[in-house]
Amino acid sequence: MSLPVEPAREPIQALRLSDAVALFIDRAGQVRPQFAITAANAPAVAQICHDLDGIPLAIELAAARVRRHASILRPPSKSSASRDLSTC
């Protein structure tokens, strides 16, 4: 399954050409019909697909979480990133 080459920098149109991102968009749209890839969530979607190594089942499971946890697609704030580091 094709993956985004540079998840944080690719334009939305290029991301949609990735099999992994296309699968995520399709499955997220099934559980949350108003879901759309935007400039705000595209880096997160691409990163999720990249982190999951393009494994279809993993991507489907992650996309299913959009139903209840749309916040997973928001970029982390600096304060939450520092909290995450402080727990290590």
Tens digit of each residue's pLDDT (9 = 90 or more) over 15-73:
999 999 999 999 999 999 999 999 989 999 999 999 999 999 999 999 999 887 666 66
| Pair of tokens at residue 81 | 């990133």
**Do residues 66 and 23 make contact, with C-beta atoms less than 8 angstroms apart?**
no
Residue 2 within any structural domain of the chain? no
**How many domains does the chain divide into?**
1
Residue 69 within any structural domain of the chain? yes
Backbone angles phi, psi at 19, to 5 degrees: -60, -40
Residue 46 within any structural domain of the chain? yes
Q: Which residue has the higher pLDDT, 87 or 14?
A: 14
| Pair of tokens at residue 56 | 């279809």
Residue 7 within any structural domain of the chain? no
What global pTM score does this model have? 0.77
Query: HEC states along 16-39?
Result: HCCHHHHHHHHHHHHHCCCCCCCC
Domain extent at residue 32: 12-86
Residue 42 within any structural domain of the chain? yes
Residue 18 within any structural domain of the chain? yes
